[in-house]
Chain A
Amino acid sequence: DIVMTQTPLSSPVTLGQPASISCRSSQSLVHSDGNTYLSWLQQRPGQPPRLLIYKISNRFSGVPDRFSGSGAGTDFTLKISRVEAEDVGVYYCMQSTQFPYTFGRGTKLEIK
């Protein structure tokens, strides 16, 4: 199974400041079709997860442009350019390149 390792596990951030979360996979996430199926999801308290970014850097419909994804191969990053209060929650990276799909342990974003 592909292990997804996220850092940090907790990130206190000041409103209006940037935030960054890293995700490393135990093996390359490049699929045989050439795509890299690395996604980022946000889970606000008491809600189901919500897709933010798919295939490394594609912002899902309705996701604010302060969210961006980057990376390649085994190393990936989610960045929030300016954190807003509504961004509080847990962020997960996830790979769907191969079964079983696997998630990182989650990074809790909180406001200082």
Chain B
Amino acid sequence: ELKVEQNPLFLSMQEGKNYTIYCNYSTTSDRLYWYRQDPGKSLESLFVLLSNGAVKQEGRLMASLDTKARLSTLHITAAVHDLSATYFCAVAPYSGAGSYQLTFGKGTKLSVIP
């Protein structure tokens, strides 16, 4: 059974600080996804990482993937209040019929405090 673990599950940080969210997974997968969810809202796609060593950046967020270590990180630089949300990683090993089923971590709830 594929397991996806995020650490930490809750994160309270001050504005201007840096921090990293970790996503570990238990089986081989060369693709990983990061999503953001605001309270009561849907999920927004942030990053799609499709190969070992992939790195993507958007604003204050940077995601990376190490398939050998089965680890992805989401790094937050100089946090601002608008980044407060829950962040999910999801792993997608091939499941047949041309489809990749996403298995999600439980999410990291980030609160950025002024």
Same complex for A and B? Answer no
B residues sitting closer than 8 Å to A (CB atoms) are none
